[in-house]
């Protein structure tokens, strides 16, 4: 069966690399707009009967979802047989419970919508906390890839005597894997979230940091508060080096510069979301 891989605008570079890795043709489409701002989409490749892969991370998801809905509907009308979404960052996974009366479980609603549009979804380290498995919320086949081996490789190559610090108990699943790949120690702190932009971090073990380079490891950097508070704590106990390594560079508002200003020695992320901090290329995860 003929296969095409299409890039959502902004994901051309990752799409080219994935297409090359798999020997698949890159599909051509125009993702334009009408003068009033509504989307004007056009598929130029002959896709009838073919299997389609679309590359699009779902950070800042709301506009992308509408455009992906229009695009997948168009592809179905053109007679494609299967549509897979490679979505290196899966949005809304942190809204996995009703936090305040009147709110909902957006992770579920979002998954339901994607399940209507796609036949299969492949993602990288989704934020699985109260939802243990994507099959609990998706009605389609899903596959989860892990960035840990690539993060270990980067840290091994670039950091002397690392000790990894995870900000909270949820992070243990990533931090322990990354530490195992390096063969270095790790510790996990206790985090209390006091609001969307406020967290409190308490480190459980400081002894493990002795003569080591602290590397903060997390799945997502969003407001940056988790990493900033950890850096401030490290400084208060005499550690002035802190390398921040994360999978997903969400970086809300001014958080990237705020994290730099807080004293991060280096900020390194995987290329699941296009960002200047991307240093770890995960293309190798997407071999079909």
Instruction: Write out the residues near ligand R5P by the rule CB under 6 A.
Output: 167, 170-171, 199, 218-226
Beta carbon nearer to ligand R5P, 29 or 220: 220
Beta carbon nearer to ligand R5P, 57 or 72: 57
For the CB of residue 221, give the shortest distance to ligand R5P in the complex, in Å: 5
For the CB of residue 59, give the shortest distance to ligand R5P in the complex, in Å: 12
Alpha helices per DSSP H over the chain:
12-22, 61-77, 106-117, 148-158, 172-182, 225-236, 255-262
Beta carbon nearer to ligand R5P, 55 or 175: 175
For the CB of residue 222, give the shortest distance to ligand R5P in the complex, in Å: 3
For the CB of residue 183, give the shortest distance to ligand R5P in the complex, in Å: 24
Question: Coil, helix or strand for 20?
Answer: helix
Beta carbon nearer to ligand R5P, 152 or 171: 171
Question: Coil, helix or strand for 63?
Answer: helix
Beta carbon nearer to ligand R5P, 214 or 224: 224
For the CB of residue 246, give the shortest distance to ligand R5P in the complex, in Å: 8
Instruction: Phi first, then psi: give them for residue 22, nearest 5 degrees.
Output: -105, 0
CA distances from 40 to 5, 34, 46, 72 (A): 20, 6, 18, 13
Cβ proximity of 218 and 227 under 8 Å: yes
Q: What's 211's DSSP letter?
A: T
Cβ proximity of 259 and 245 under 8 Å: no
């Amino acid at each position: 069966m003929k296969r095409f891989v299409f890039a959502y605008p902004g994901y051309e570079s990752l799409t080219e690399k994935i297409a090359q890795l798999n020997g698949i043709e890159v599909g051509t489409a125009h993702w334009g707009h009408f003068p009033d701002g509504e989307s004007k989409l056009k598929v130029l490749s002959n896709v009838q009967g073919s299997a389609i892969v679309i590359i699009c991370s779902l950070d800042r998801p709301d506009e992308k979802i509408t455009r992906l809905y229009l695009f997948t509907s168009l592809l179905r009308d053109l007679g494609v047989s299967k549509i897979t979404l490679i979505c290196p960052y899966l949005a809304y996974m942190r809204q996995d419970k009703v936090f305040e009366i009147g709110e909902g479980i957006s992770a579920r609603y979002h998954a339901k919508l994607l399940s209507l549009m796609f036949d299969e979804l492949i993602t990288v380290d989704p934020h699985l906390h109260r939802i243990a498995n994507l099959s609990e919320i998706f009605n389609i086949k899903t596959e989860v890839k892990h960035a840990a081996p690539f993060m270990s490789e980067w840290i091994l190559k670039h950091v002397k005597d690392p000790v990894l610090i995870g900000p909270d108990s949820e992070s243990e699943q990533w931090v322990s894997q990354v530490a195992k790949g390096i063969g270095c120690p790790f510790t996990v702190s206790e985090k209390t979230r006091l609001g969307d932009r406020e967290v409190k971090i308490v480190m459980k073990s400081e002894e493990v940091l002795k003569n080591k380079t602290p590397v903060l490891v997390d799945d997502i950097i969003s407001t940056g508060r988790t990493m900033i508070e950890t850096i401030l704590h490290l400084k208060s106990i005499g550690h002035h080096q802190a390398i921040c390594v994360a999978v997903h560079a969400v970086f809300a508002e001014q958080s990237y510069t705020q994290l730099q200003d807080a004293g991060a020695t280096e900020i390194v992320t995987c290329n699941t979301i296009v960002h200047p901090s991307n240093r770890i290329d995960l293309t190798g995860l997407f071999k079909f």
